[in-house]
Amino acid sequence: MPELPEVEVVRRGLEAHVLDRPIRSVEVLHPRPVRRHLPGAEDFATRLTGRTFTAANRRGKYLWLPLDVPSRVGQDTGNALLGHLGMSGQLLVQQPGAPAERHLRVRFDLGDTELRFVDQRMFGGLALSEGGADLPPEIAHIARDPLDPEFDEAGFVTRVRRSQSGIKRQLLNQSLVSGVGNIYADEGLWLARVHGERVGARLRRTDVERVLAGCRAVMLAALGEGGTSFDSLYVNVNGESGYFDRSLEVYGREDLPCSRCGTPIRRMVFMNRSSYFCPVCQPAPRLRRA
């Protein structure tokens, strides 16, 4: 599943390759990825044809591409194409006429290039966001991410410390902070030496700040290396897989020695997924240990 750094890599790729080129045609090859566009696939294609992407933006793991405002006065003012990669989605920039990918779902003909949405499992999708050029209303509830220059760090720390929820659960709460997926949460907690089940209200301000700094450091490192990829289905906008996985300290490393203290890394089930941690560097909360 693509995490925030991968989505940011995609955003940068889109920014470099798909802006300011009129959309000549839109071909929807499967209705499911545009299911959130309620007027249907045909309307989706019609309303995007002839328009131009003017920017590539991101909030958490959502991407949106504002559309130019047509000169005629009409209903389509300040709209945007809103996209989410889901579990296996890819946005690929291809040469016109390049062979179709096996799971090609939507194709945008941009003249000298093509933007393609490829998705095997189709949890992701695209939609036209009405009035969504500045910030699509569909994603306005999603908090900024730790890499966003306008992220409110002090506000985040305060909210975490008012809560009786575990710190990891809070890191994954998109209304508090977006884009910190399971991998980055585990890595950030390990860097900060904080166990993910420690309750927010029992953490010191500096603990939460350290966790946030840890998540941010891992995300920045991943961004520098093109993104983490555990899912061979994921590739970035140029079709290159991320290769950050070799640098991970705890995630996916059950029973391997912690690089700081040598203790075997443990795995526990968490929200139908897994949490990885070092039991020595990240002591469990006292109540749980008893």
Which residues would be at the binding site for Zn ion (CB under 5 A)?
A: 258, 260-261, 263, 278, 280-281
Nearer to Zn ion, 228 or 282 (CB): 282
Query: Using CA atoms, how far apart are residues 260 and 55, in angstroms rounded to an integer?
Result: 43
> Which residue of the set 2, 33, 66, 136 is catalytic?
2
Smallest separation (angstroms) from Zn ion to the CB of 190: 8
Instruction: Reply yes or no on whether 3 is catalytic.
Output: yes
Alpha-carbon separation of residue 159 from 152, 154, 252, 272 (angstroms): 11, 9, 30, 25
Least distance in Å: CB of 225 to Zn ion? Answer: 23
The one catalytic residue among 3, 6, 187, 197: 3
From CA 59, how far away is CA 172, in angstroms rounded?
15
What's the CA gap between 61 and 11, in Å, rounded? 10
Nearer to Zn ion, 119 or 249 (CB): 249
Tell me the closest approach of the beta carbon of residue 260 to Zn ion, in angstroms.
Answer: 4
C-beta of 178 vs 275, nearer to Zn ion: 275
Minimum distance from residue 195 beta carbon to Zn ion (Å): 12
The per-residue DSSP string of 206-219 comes to HHHHHHHHHHHHHH
d(CA 49, CA 110) in angstroms, rounded, equals 10
Q: How far is the CB of 165 from Zn ion (least distance, A)?
A: 24
Task: Indicate if 273 belongs to the active site.
Answer: yes
> What tokens were used for 45?
């294609």
Measured from the CB atom, the residue of 23 and 278 that comes closer to Zn ion is 278
Find out whether 254 and 263 touch, Cβ atoms under 8 Å. no
| Closest to Zn ion by CB, 19 or 280 | 280
Angle between helices 205-224 and 153-161 (to 10 degrees): 130
Contact 14, 56 (CB under 8 A): yes
Q: Tell me whether residue 168 is one of the annotated catalytic residues.
A: no
* Cα(15)–Cα(9) distance, integer angstroms: 10
Closest approach of Cβ 279 to Zn ion, in Å?
8
Of 24, 205, 260, 273, which one is the catalytic site residue?
273
Q: Which residues contact 13 (CB under 8 A, 6 or more apart)?
A: 91, 93, 236, 237, 238
For residues 199 and 280, which CB has a smaller minimum distance to Zn ion in the complex?
280
What residues are annotated to the active site? 2-3, 61, 273
